[in-house]
Structure 1
Amino acid sequence: MLIAGKVAVIAATSRLQALSKCFSRPYCRPNHIQTVPVPVPPHDVFISHRGPDTRRNLSGLLYDHLLRLGHRPFLDYRNMKAGDKLSEKIDTAIRDCKVGVVVFSPRFCESSYCLHELTLLIDYKKRVIPIFYNVKPSQLRVGDIYNGTCVSDQKELEIRFSRALEEAKNIVGLDFNSSKGYWSEFLQSASDAIIEQISQSS
Protein backbone atom coordinates (compact mmCIF):
# COMPACT_ATOMS: atom_id res chain seq x y z
CA MET A 1 0.00 0.00 0.00
CA LEU A 2 2.85 2.36 0.90
CA ILE A 3 4.71 1.51 -2.30
CA ALA A 4 1.61 2.15 -4.40
CA GLY A 5 1.19 5.55 -2.76
CA LYS A 6 4.79 6.50 -3.52
CA VAL A 7 4.35 5.45 -7.15
CA ALA A 8 1.25 7.62 -7.45
CA VAL A 9 3.06 10.62 -5.96
CA ILE A 10 6.03 10.16 -8.30
CA ALA A 11 3.72 9.88 -11.32
CA ALA A 12 1.81 13.03 -10.35
CA THR A 13 5.06 14.92 -9.80
CA SER A 14 6.34 13.87 -13.23
CA ARG A 15 3.16 15.06 -14.90
CA LEU A 16 3.40 18.44 -13.15
CA GLN A 17 7.03 18.84 -14.20
CA ALA A 18 6.22 17.98 -17.81
CA LEU A 19 3.30 20.41 -17.82
CA SER A 20 5.49 23.14 -16.33
CA LYS A 21 8.14 22.63 -19.03
CA CYS A 22 5.51 22.75 -21.74
CA PHE A 23 4.15 26.11 -20.62
CA SER A 24 7.65 27.51 -20.31
CA ARG A 25 8.22 26.96 -24.03
CA PRO A 26 6.94 29.64 -26.45
CA TYR A 27 5.37 27.12 -28.82
CA CYS A 28 3.33 25.53 -26.02
CA ARG A 29 1.62 28.77 -25.03
CA PRO A 30 -2.00 29.31 -26.08
CA ASN A 31 -2.11 30.63 -29.64
CA HIS A 32 -5.28 32.66 -29.17
CA ILE A 33 -3.37 35.56 -27.60
CA GLN A 34 -2.53 38.04 -30.37
CA THR A 35 -1.05 41.50 -30.36
CA VAL A 36 -3.32 44.27 -31.58
CA PRO A 37 -1.74 46.24 -34.46
CA VAL A 38 -1.26 49.93 -33.77
CA PRO A 39 -3.29 52.00 -36.27
CA VAL A 40 -1.20 54.20 -38.55
CA PRO A 41 -2.27 57.86 -38.33
CA PRO A 42 -3.44 59.41 -41.61
CA HIS A 43 -1.22 61.72 -43.63
CA ASP A 44 -1.84 65.36 -42.79
CA VAL A 45 -0.40 66.73 -46.05
CA PHE A 46 -0.87 65.42 -49.58
CA ILE A 47 1.69 66.61 -52.13
CA SER A 48 0.44 66.47 -55.71
CA HIS A 49 3.16 66.83 -58.33
CA ARG A 50 4.32 65.67 -61.73
CA GLY A 51 7.13 63.28 -60.88
CA PRO A 52 9.55 63.93 -63.75
CA ASP A 53 9.37 67.69 -63.07
CA THR A 54 9.75 68.00 -59.30
CA ARG A 55 10.32 64.60 -57.69
CA ARG A 56 14.05 65.19 -57.28
CA ASN A 57 13.86 68.82 -56.32
CA LEU A 58 10.97 70.83 -54.91
CA SER A 59 8.48 68.08 -54.08
CA GLY A 60 11.07 65.72 -52.65
CA LEU A 61 12.77 68.45 -50.62
CA LEU A 62 9.45 69.73 -49.28
CA TYR A 63 8.47 66.21 -48.25
CA ASP A 64 11.74 65.74 -46.34
CA HIS A 65 11.43 69.15 -44.71
CA LEU A 66 7.89 68.48 -43.45
CA LEU A 67 8.94 65.04 -42.23
CA ARG A 68 11.76 66.54 -40.17
CA LEU A 69 9.27 68.96 -38.64
CA GLY A 70 7.22 66.03 -37.35
CA HIS A 71 4.44 66.02 -39.95
CA ARG A 72 3.12 63.12 -42.02
CA PRO A 73 3.27 64.16 -45.67
CA PHE A 74 2.25 61.88 -48.53
CA LEU A 75 4.32 61.76 -51.70
CA ASP A 76 3.48 58.88 -54.00
CA TYR A 77 6.92 57.40 -54.64
CA ARG A 78 7.93 57.82 -50.98
CA ASN A 79 4.84 56.25 -49.41
CA MET A 80 3.84 53.56 -51.87
CA LYS A 81 5.34 50.11 -52.14
CA ALA A 82 5.12 47.21 -54.56
CA GLY A 83 1.66 45.69 -54.57
CA ASP A 84 -0.20 48.84 -53.51
CA LYS A 85 -3.23 49.78 -55.58
CA LEU A 86 -2.40 53.17 -57.04
CA SER A 87 -5.83 54.80 -57.17
CA GLU A 88 -6.96 53.35 -53.84
CA LYS A 89 -3.85 54.49 -51.97
CA ILE A 90 -3.90 57.99 -53.42
CA ASP A 91 -7.65 58.46 -53.00
CA THR A 92 -7.41 57.44 -49.34
CA ALA A 93 -4.48 59.77 -48.70
CA ILE A 94 -6.36 62.69 -50.26
CA ARG A 95 -9.58 61.93 -48.40
CA ASP A 96 -7.82 61.74 -45.03
CA CYS A 97 -5.38 64.65 -45.40
CA LYS A 98 -5.88 68.10 -43.92
CA VAL A 99 -4.00 70.10 -46.53
CA GLY A 100 -3.25 69.51 -50.18
CA VAL A 101 -0.12 71.01 -51.72
CA VAL A 102 -0.29 71.17 -55.50
CA VAL A 103 3.09 71.73 -57.12
CA PHE A 104 2.25 73.17 -60.53
CA SER A 105 5.11 72.75 -62.98
CA PRO A 106 5.16 73.62 -66.71
CA ARG A 107 3.96 70.13 -67.72
CA PHE A 108 1.67 69.42 -64.75
CA CYS A 109 -1.49 69.65 -66.86
CA GLU A 110 -0.21 67.04 -69.31
CA SER A 111 -0.79 64.37 -66.68
CA SER A 112 -4.29 63.00 -66.16
CA TYR A 113 -3.11 61.58 -62.82
CA CYS A 114 -2.09 65.02 -61.58
CA LEU A 115 -5.36 66.56 -62.71
CA HIS A 116 -7.28 63.73 -61.06
CA GLU A 117 -5.51 64.41 -57.75
CA LEU A 118 -6.21 68.12 -58.04
CA THR A 119 -9.88 67.46 -58.79
CA LEU A 120 -10.21 65.15 -55.78
CA LEU A 121 -8.68 67.77 -53.49
CA ILE A 122 -11.19 70.33 -54.74
CA ASP A 123 -14.11 67.88 -54.59
CA TYR A 124 -13.25 66.92 -51.01
CA LYS A 125 -13.06 70.64 -50.19
CA LYS A 126 -9.56 70.35 -48.78
CA ARG A 127 -7.42 73.33 -47.96
CA VAL A 128 -5.22 73.71 -51.03
CA ILE A 129 -1.91 75.54 -51.30
CA PRO A 130 -0.80 75.96 -54.92
CA ILE A 131 2.92 76.24 -55.61
CA PHE A 132 3.74 77.60 -59.05
CA TYR A 133 7.15 76.16 -59.86
CA ASN A 134 8.75 77.77 -62.91
CA VAL A 135 5.31 78.50 -64.32
CA LYS A 136 2.69 81.24 -64.12
CA PRO A 137 -0.97 80.49 -63.38
CA SER A 138 -2.00 81.97 -66.74
CA GLN A 139 0.15 79.37 -68.52
CA LEU A 140 -1.74 76.43 -67.03
CA ARG A 141 -4.59 74.96 -69.04
CA VAL A 142 -6.07 71.53 -69.68
CA GLY A 143 -5.33 70.34 -73.20
CA ASP A 144 -5.56 66.97 -74.91
CA ILE A 145 -4.32 64.94 -71.97
CA TYR A 146 -5.06 61.63 -73.70
CA ASN A 147 -3.03 62.40 -76.85
CA GLY A 148 -5.92 61.81 -79.21
CA THR A 149 -6.88 58.48 -77.66
CA CYS A 150 -10.61 57.99 -77.29
CA VAL A 151 -11.46 57.63 -73.60
CA SER A 152 -14.88 57.02 -72.13
CA ASP A 153 -16.36 60.23 -70.67
CA GLN A 154 -13.30 62.15 -71.87
CA LYS A 155 -15.19 65.39 -72.41
CA GLU A 156 -16.77 65.24 -68.97
CA LEU A 157 -13.40 64.56 -67.36
CA GLU A 158 -11.77 67.48 -69.14
CA ILE A 159 -14.56 69.78 -67.94
CA ARG A 160 -14.10 68.61 -64.34
CA PHE A 161 -10.32 68.99 -64.60
CA SER A 162 -10.66 72.48 -66.06
CA ARG A 163 -13.01 73.60 -63.30
CA ALA A 164 -10.69 72.29 -60.59
CA LEU A 165 -7.72 73.95 -62.26
CA GLU A 166 -9.46 77.31 -62.48
CA GLU A 167 -10.46 77.10 -58.82
CA ALA A 168 -6.89 76.29 -57.79
CA LYS A 169 -5.52 79.16 -59.89
CA ASN A 170 -7.77 81.54 -57.95
CA ILE A 171 -6.27 80.49 -54.62
CA VAL A 172 -3.41 82.59 -53.30
CA GLY A 173 -0.34 80.42 -53.66
CA LEU A 174 3.44 80.51 -53.66
CA ASP A 175 5.72 81.20 -56.61
CA PHE A 176 9.20 79.81 -57.04
CA ASN A 177 11.69 80.31 -59.85
CA SER A 178 14.43 77.70 -59.51
CA SER A 179 16.96 79.82 -61.40
CA LYS A 180 16.55 82.87 -59.16
CA GLY A 181 15.04 81.75 -55.86
CA TYR A 182 16.73 80.56 -52.67
CA TRP A 183 15.78 76.99 -51.87
CA SER A 184 16.19 77.10 -48.10
CA GLU A 185 14.13 80.26 -47.73
CA PHE A 186 11.38 78.97 -49.97
CA LEU A 187 11.15 75.60 -48.22
CA GLN A 188 10.84 77.38 -44.89
CA SER A 189 8.14 79.78 -46.09
CA ALA A 190 6.23 76.96 -47.81
CA SER A 191 6.39 74.83 -44.66
CA ASP A 192 5.19 77.74 -42.53
CA ALA A 193 2.19 78.24 -44.83
CA ILE A 194 1.36 74.53 -44.78
CA ILE A 195 1.64 74.25 -41.00
CA GLU A 196 -0.62 77.27 -40.57
CA GLN A 197 -3.27 75.66 -42.76
CA ILE A 198 -2.98 72.39 -40.84
CA SER A 199 -3.56 74.19 -37.55
CA GLN A 200 -6.60 75.97 -38.96
CA SER A 201 -8.14 72.72 -40.16
CA SER A 202 -7.78 70.98 -36.78
Structure 2
Amino acid sequence: MSSTPTSSVQKSFKHEVFLSFRGEDTRKNFVDHLYHALHSKGITTYKDDKNITKGGKIDDQLLRSIEESRLFIIVFSKNYANSSWCLDELVKIMECQKMKEHTAYPIFYDVEPTEVRHQTGAVKRAFVKHEKEDDAERWRDALKEAARSGWVGVEDHF
Protein backbone atom coordinates (compact mmCIF):
# COMPACT_ATOMS: atom_id res chain seq x y z
CA MET A 1 0.00 0.00 0.00
CA SER A 2 1.48 3.30 -1.09
CA SER A 3 1.06 6.48 0.90
CA THR A 4 1.69 10.10 0.02
CA PRO A 5 4.25 11.87 2.19
CA THR A 6 2.63 14.67 4.20
CA SER A 7 5.12 17.19 2.85
CA SER A 8 3.66 16.83 -0.66
CA VAL A 9 0.02 17.25 0.42
CA GLN A 10 -1.31 20.72 -0.38
CA LYS A 11 -3.25 22.43 2.39
CA SER A 12 -6.63 23.84 1.42
CA PHE A 13 -7.13 27.51 2.28
CA LYS A 14 -10.36 29.45 2.69
CA HIS A 15 -8.66 32.67 1.46
CA GLU A 16 -5.80 33.08 -0.98
CA VAL A 17 -4.89 36.48 0.52
CA PHE A 18 -5.32 38.16 3.90
CA LEU A 19 -4.92 41.96 3.86
CA SER A 20 -3.47 43.55 7.00
CA PHE A 21 -3.67 47.34 7.05
CA ARG A 22 -4.41 50.41 9.17
CA GLY A 23 -7.86 51.48 8.02
CA GLU A 24 -7.59 55.19 8.63
CA ASP A 25 -4.42 55.39 6.51
CA THR A 26 -5.17 53.15 3.55
CA ARG A 27 -8.70 51.69 3.51
CA LYS A 28 -10.35 54.22 1.18
CA ASN A 29 -7.46 54.45 -1.25
CA PHE A 30 -4.69 51.89 -1.73
CA VAL A 31 -6.29 48.92 0.07
CA ASP A 32 -9.66 49.33 -1.67
CA HIS A 33 -7.91 49.41 -5.06
CA LEU A 34 -5.76 46.41 -4.16
CA TYR A 35 -8.75 44.43 -2.88
CA HIS A 36 -10.80 45.12 -6.02
CA ALA A 37 -7.86 44.26 -8.30
CA LEU A 38 -7.36 40.92 -6.52
CA HIS A 39 -11.10 40.22 -6.47
CA SER A 40 -11.44 41.00 -10.20
CA LYS A 41 -8.78 38.35 -10.90
CA GLY A 42 -10.78 35.78 -8.93
CA ILE A 43 -8.42 35.80 -5.94
CA THR A 44 -10.32 35.19 -2.70
CA THR A 45 -9.20 37.94 -0.37
CA TYR A 46 -10.03 38.60 3.27
CA LYS A 47 -10.31 42.29 4.16
CA ASP A 48 -11.55 43.14 7.64
CA ASP A 49 -13.84 46.15 7.25
CA LYS A 50 -15.21 46.24 10.78
CA ASN A 51 -14.92 49.45 12.74
CA ILE A 52 -12.64 48.43 15.54
CA THR A 53 -13.06 49.88 19.00
CA LYS A 54 -9.88 51.63 20.08
CA GLY A 55 -7.98 49.38 22.44
CA GLY A 56 -10.15 46.42 21.47
CA LYS A 57 -8.60 42.97 21.38
CA ILE A 58 -8.32 40.94 18.20
CA ASP A 59 -11.07 38.33 18.03
CA ASP A 60 -10.79 34.58 17.44
CA GLN A 61 -12.58 34.74 14.06
CA LEU A 62 -9.96 37.14 12.73
CA LEU A 63 -7.15 34.90 13.99
CA ARG A 64 -8.81 31.94 12.22
CA SER A 65 -9.06 33.98 9.01
CA ILE A 66 -5.31 34.58 9.19
CA GLU A 67 -4.66 30.86 9.67
CA GLU A 68 -7.00 30.06 6.77
CA SER A 69 -5.14 32.34 4.34
CA ARG A 70 -2.25 31.29 2.13
CA LEU A 71 -0.70 34.71 1.47
CA PHE A 72 -0.54 37.80 3.63
CA ILE A 73 -0.20 41.31 2.27
CA ILE A 74 0.84 43.65 5.07
CA VAL A 75 0.37 47.30 4.14
CA PHE A 76 2.64 49.22 6.50
CA SER A 77 1.69 52.88 6.80
CA LYS A 78 2.55 55.72 9.16
CA ASN A 79 -0.08 54.71 11.74
CA TYR A 80 0.01 50.92 11.37
CA ALA A 81 1.98 50.57 14.63
CA ASN A 82 -0.52 52.82 16.42
CA SER A 83 -3.04 49.98 16.43
CA SER A 84 -2.61 47.10 18.87
CA TRP A 85 -5.12 45.26 16.65
CA CYS A 86 -2.80 45.57 13.62
CA LEU A 87 0.19 44.58 15.73
CA ASP A 88 -1.61 41.47 17.04
CA GLU A 89 -2.52 40.57 13.44
CA LEU A 90 1.12 41.01 12.47
CA VAL A 91 2.35 38.70 15.24
CA LYS A 92 -0.12 36.00 14.11
CA ILE A 93 0.88 36.49 10.46
CA MET A 94 4.57 36.13 11.31
CA GLU A 95 3.83 32.96 13.30
CA CYS A 96 1.88 31.49 10.36
CA GLN A 97 4.55 32.51 7.87
CA LYS A 98 7.01 30.19 9.59
CA MET A 99 4.97 27.33 8.17
CA LYS A 100 5.86 26.30 4.66
CA GLU A 101 2.40 26.92 3.17
CA HIS A 102 2.18 30.61 4.15
CA THR A 103 3.99 33.64 2.71
CA ALA A 104 3.91 37.28 3.81
CA TYR A 105 4.48 40.21 1.47
CA PRO A 106 5.03 43.57 3.15
CA ILE A 107 4.22 46.78 1.29
CA PHE A 108 5.52 50.09 2.59
CA TYR A 109 2.93 52.79 1.95
CA ASP A 110 4.31 56.27 2.63
CA VAL A 111 6.80 54.81 5.13
CA GLU A 112 10.32 53.44 4.70
CA PRO A 113 11.22 49.83 5.51
CA THR A 114 13.92 51.02 7.93
CA GLU A 115 11.28 53.00 9.87
CA VAL A 116 9.31 49.80 10.36
CA ARG A 117 12.31 47.57 10.99
CA HIS A 118 13.89 49.89 13.59
CA GLN A 119 10.72 51.67 14.75
CA THR A 120 11.99 55.15 13.87
CA GLY A 121 10.32 58.22 12.37
CA ALA A 122 6.57 57.95 11.87
CA VAL A 123 6.52 54.34 13.07
CA LYS A 124 8.24 55.31 16.33
CA ARG A 125 5.70 58.09 16.88
CA ALA A 126 2.86 55.62 16.25
CA PHE A 127 4.36 52.91 18.47
CA VAL A 128 5.26 55.16 21.43
CA LYS A 129 1.96 54.58 23.26
CA HIS A 130 2.69 50.83 23.37
CA GLU A 131 6.16 51.08 24.95
CA LYS A 132 5.06 49.88 28.38
CA GLU A 133 2.56 47.25 27.25
CA ASP A 134 3.23 43.56 27.93
CA ASP A 135 3.19 42.73 24.21
CA ALA A 136 5.56 45.54 23.14
CA GLU A 137 8.56 43.26 22.64
CA ARG A 138 6.57 40.70 20.59
CA TRP A 139 5.24 43.55 18.45
CA ARG A 140 8.72 45.00 17.94
CA ASP A 141 10.07 41.60 16.90
CA ALA A 142 7.20 41.09 14.44
CA LEU A 143 7.79 44.55 12.92
CA LYS A 144 11.51 43.82 12.51
CA GLU A 145 10.90 40.42 10.96
CA ALA A 146 8.18 41.59 8.56
CA ALA A 147 10.16 44.61 7.36
CA ARG A 148 13.10 42.60 6.05
CA SER A 149 11.67 42.63 2.51
CA GLY A 150 8.81 44.10 0.51
CA TRP A 151 7.80 46.81 -1.91
CA VAL A 152 8.46 50.50 -1.35
CA GLY A 153 6.81 53.55 -2.87
CA VAL A 154 3.66 51.87 -4.10
CA GLU A 155 1.63 55.03 -3.55
CA ASP A 156 3.24 56.36 -6.73
CA HIS A 157 1.56 53.59 -8.73
CA PHE A 158 -2.05 54.17 -7.64
Common fold: TM-score over 0.5: yes
Q: Give, in angstroms, the shift of residue 116 of structure 1.
A: 0.7
**Where do residues 37-186 of structure 1 align in structure 2 (5 Å cutoff)?**
42-77=14-49, 87-125=59-97, 126-140=102-116, 141=119, 143-146=127-130, 154-155=133-134, 157-170=135-148, 172-176=149-153, 178=155, 181-183=156-158
Q: Give, in angstroms, the shift of residue 175 of structure 1.
A: 1.3
Q: Give, in angstroms, the shift of residue 136 of structure 1.
A: 0.2
Q: Give, in angstroms, the shift of residue 88 of structure 1.
A: 2.0
Aligned residues: 128
Could you say which structure has the higher strand fraction? 2
Rg bigger for which structure? 1
Q: Give, in angstroms, the shift of residue 177 of structure 1.
A: 5.1
1:26-83 per-position Cα deviation (integer Å, ceiling 9, x unaligned): xxxxxxxxxxxxxxx71110000000000001111101110000011011018xxxxx
Could you tell me which runs of 5 or more consecutive residues in structure 2 were left unpaired when the two chains were aligned.
1-12, 51-56
Measure, in 2, the Cα distance between the counterparts of 1:145 and 1:49: 19
> Please, what TM-score do these two structures have when normalized by structure 2?
0.74
Moved over 4 A (4+): none
> Please, what TM-score do these two structures have when normalized by structure 1?
0.58
Identity over aligned residues, as a percent? 30
Measure, in 2, the Cα distance between the counterparts of 1:163 and 1:146: 13
C-alpha RMSD over aligned residues: 2.1
Could you tell me which runs of 5 or more consecutive residues in structure 1 were left unpaired when the two chains were aligned.
1-40, 79-84, 149-153, 184-202
Greater relative contact order structure (CA < 8 Å, 6+ sep): 2
Could you say which structure has the higher helix fraction? 1
Q: Give, in angstroms, the shift of residue 89 of structure 1.
A: 2.2
**Contact preservation (8 Å) 1:48, 1:118:** yes
